[in-house]
Amino acid sequence: MASNKNNIKIHEHFKVVPPLSSIQSTTTTPLTFFDIIWLGFHPSERIYFYTLHDQHSHPSFFFQEIIPNLKSSLSLTLQHFLPLAGKIVWPSDSLKPFIQFNPNDDDNGVSLLIVESDADFNHVIGNSPHEASLTRSFIPNLESSDSFASTMSLQITLFPNCGFSIGITTHHAVFDGKSLSMFVKAWACLCNKIIGFETPTLLPELEPLFNRDIIKGTNENNAIEILSKISPTEKGNKRSLKISPSEPKLEDSLRATFKLTRADLDKIKQYVLSKWEIFNPNESKPETLSSFILTCAYSLVCIAKAIHGVEKEKEKFALVFVIDCRARLESAIPSNYFGNCLLGDFIDTKPFDFKNEDGVFLVAKCIYEKIKMINEKGIFEEMIFDIFDRFKTLNNERYEIFGVAGSGSNRFCVYKNDFGYGRLEKVEIVSIDRDLSIGFGDSKDGNGGVEIGLVLNKHVMDLFSTFFLEGLCGN
């Protein structure tokens, strides 16, 4: 059956479930405060592109060997990640929604679409700017309605004689970046064991922890109360689980990936620290600055200058970012905790700092100070409501608000996700085309660099490329 867009041919559509023989009864997993705040947020969308070589690249091997092994290992993986095979529901007698897996419900399971594309694989995985809409052909939709929402959906796309991709769309109330990384690593681990005829067991660090009791106050959360604080003017069915519409911004837009090597980051760091001594001679400068701080400061200043260069009326900018709270709560949360454990916050920049001549220093300093403050003062619930209020205020004041996708971490080692068939060539965070966000992740070369994914208006992208490359040469 051929689809009507971008020369995509749909081969099969499965619902993959865990081995049901080991599941005796319905399981429920509560949503914490950290999950509920993302309930209406648009899904996270990623693609993992793999190169195939020699006999592995032939379509017959793909459909007869690779697909069955990916499907079987996915089923085994779901046995460890059982809630992901269920769906989010919100019964009328419950104060909040929860994830439910019922082995007797035929609608349970993870949607898996098998697709073939005639797109140029090398063009698709290239870093150079290309049409933003192209990669949307390789990710699946996520079902949601008033009564339920899927946790995840998958699409595997073959590029004949070249490679394949795994597109993953996840519900943000179920996954954060660390949780998604754990799931993909577990799936890849079990797929390799199937190929090698080993006993399909997981490494201890990949065994997910779904115990919500370790998050303080989990059972007291009233979802309607939380959501009404986040969106006090929201109308309609307050109990609806339908994901809020957020259309991708694809018209006249390009998608590209830029890299900062370890040497580039060191150069930016030295520049920022030298400015620190000039602007704050009586204040001790930090001993080091993280890759996250340096990457955000440098790339977002380049974007702000490019946007202002194309649209002069856009001159006020702000940054909201998220941090992992697992080690920052009153009682530390184990690193294998599965679910959301993120908190966002704005940095305390002035409206025009991003396009200031010393913007990279000013933004880097503000990010550093905000993270330092959170580390010292800790996390408290009301912070999230303040953030949503501030977002609305800045939006009404016509600020361009930057975000960071990928949970702001380059420590997930995504390029080590090997399913046993070929090298991972590219990881793309597709959902950055829904707002003004950068995709942030580790570099494929594994030498401490970072990759930055962008979707920008084509004129802005041209100007950004100039600022980005010239700045590295000049610093």
Banded model confidence at residue 378, pLDDT cuts 50, 70, 90: confident
Decide if 8-230 and 253-474 have a common fold. yes
Q: What is the pLDDT of residue 7?
A: 85
pLDDT tens sequence across 256-287: 999 999 999 999 999 999 999 898 888 888 98
Q: What is the pLDDT of residue 226?
A: 80
The answer on pLDDT for 3 being more than 50 is no
Q: Where is pLDDT greater, at 58 or 301?
A: 301
- What percent of the chain has a predicted confidence (pLDDT) above 70? 94
Whether residue 340 contacts residue 35, with contact meaning beta carbons closer than 8 Å, is answered with yes
Which of 162, 224, 306 is closest to 37 using CA atoms? 224
Distance CA(423)–CA(416), nearest Å, equals 9
Question: Is 80 assigned a catalytic role?
Answer: no
- Domain segments of the chain: what residues? 8-230, 253-474
Distance CA(205)–CA(223), nearest Å, equals 31
Q: What is the pLDDT of residue 380?
A: 63
The answer on pLDDT for 87 being more than 90 is yes
Whether residue 150 contacts residue 108, with contact meaning beta carbons closer than 8 Å, is answered with no
Question: Is 418 assigned a catalytic role?
Answer: yes
Banded model confidence at residue 474, pLDDT cuts 50, 70, 90: low
pLDDT tens sequence across 144-181: 998 999 999 999 999 999 999 999 999 999 999 999 99
The answer on pLDDT for 1 being more than 50 is no
3-state DSSP of the chain: CECCCCCEEEEEEEEECCCHHHCCCCEEEECCHHHHCCCCCCCEEEEEEEECCHHHHCHHHHHHHHHHHHHHHHHHHHHHCHHHHCEEECCCCCCCCEEEECCCCCCCCEEEEEEEECCCHHHHCCCCCEECCHHHHHCCCCCECCCEEECEEEEEEEECCCEEEEEEEECCCCCCHHHHHHHHHHHHHHHHHHHCCCCCCCCHHHCCECCHHHCCCHHHCCHHHHHHHHCCCCCCCCCCCCCCCCCCCCCCEEEEEEEECHHHHHHHHHHHHHHHHHHCCCCCCCCCCCHHHHHHHHHHHHHHHHHHHHCCCCCCEEEEEEEECCCCCCCCCCCCECCCCEEEEECCCCCCHHHCCCHHHHHHHHHHHHHHHHHHHCCCCHHHHHHHHHHHHHHHCCCEEEEEECCCCCCCCHHHCCCCCCCEEEEEEHHHHHCCEEEEEECCCCCCCEEEEEEEEHHHHHHHHHHHHHHHHHC
The answer on pLDDT for 244 being more than 60 is yes
The residue type found at 452 is I
> Nearest 5 degrees, angle CA 469-CA 473-CA 474?
115
Distance CA(379)–CA(345), nearest Å, equals 11
The answer on pLDDT for 234 being more than 70 is no
Residue range 68-79: mean pLDDT, rounded = 96
Banded model confidence at residue 245, pLDDT cuts 50, 70, 90: confident
pTM of the model: 0.93
Spot the catalytic one: 358, 418, 435, 462: 418
Q: What is the pLDDT of residue 445?
A: 83
pLDDT tens sequence across 115-143: 999 999 999 999 999 999 999 999 999 99
Distance CA(385)–CA(445), nearest Å, equals 39
CB count within 10 Å of CB 182 equals 22
Question: How far, in Å, are 78, 101, 170, 240 from residue 184 at the CA level?
Answer: 11, 20, 12, 29
Whether residue 391 contacts residue 320, with contact meaning beta carbons closer than 8 Å, is answered with yes
292 by Cβ neighbours in 10 Å (0-12 / 13-18 / 19+) ranks as buried
Q: What is the mean pLDDT of the chain?
A: 90
Fold of 8-230: Chloramphenicol Acetyltransferase (3.30.559)
Token couple for 92: 């009328």
Dihedral angle sign, alpha carbons of residues 382, 151, 241, 215: negative
CB count within 10 Å of CB 88 equals 23
pLDDT tens sequence across 5-39: 468 999 999 999 999 877 778 999 999 989 998 99
Distance of CA 121 to the CA centre of its chain: 23
Residue range 395-417: mean pLDDT, rounded = 83
The answer on pLDDT for 412 being more than 90 is no
Distance CA(432)–CA(439), nearest Å, equals 7
The residue type found at 438 is I
Dihedral angle sign, alpha carbons of residues 59, 60, 65, 69: positive
Which of 395, 412, 411, 414 is closest to 403 using CA atoms? 395
pLDDT tens sequence across 325-373: 888 887 778 989 999 988 888 999 999 999 999 999 999 999 999 999 8
Which of 151, 181, 3 is closest to 82 using CA atoms? 151
In this structure, what are the phi and psi dihedrals at residue 183, rounded to the nearest 5 degrees?
A: -65, -45
- What percent of the chain has a predicted confidence (pLDDT) above 90? 66
The answer on pLDDT for 112 being more than 50 is yes
In this structure, what are the phi and psi dihedrals at residue 201, rounded to the nearest 5 degrees?
A: -115, 150
pLDDT tens sequence across 422-460: 889 999 999 999 999 999 998 888 788 999 999 999 999
Q: What is the pLDDT of residue 4?
A: 35
CB count within 10 Å of CB 277 equals 11
> Nearest 5 degrees, angle CA 28-CA 29-CA 32?
145
Spot the catalytic one: 172, 264, 308, 345: 172
Q: What is the pLDDT of residue 220?
A: 61
| CATH code for the domain defined by 253-474 | 3.30.559.10
Q: Where is pLDDT greater, at 82 or 384?
A: 82
Distance CA(135)–CA(94), nearest Å, equals 39
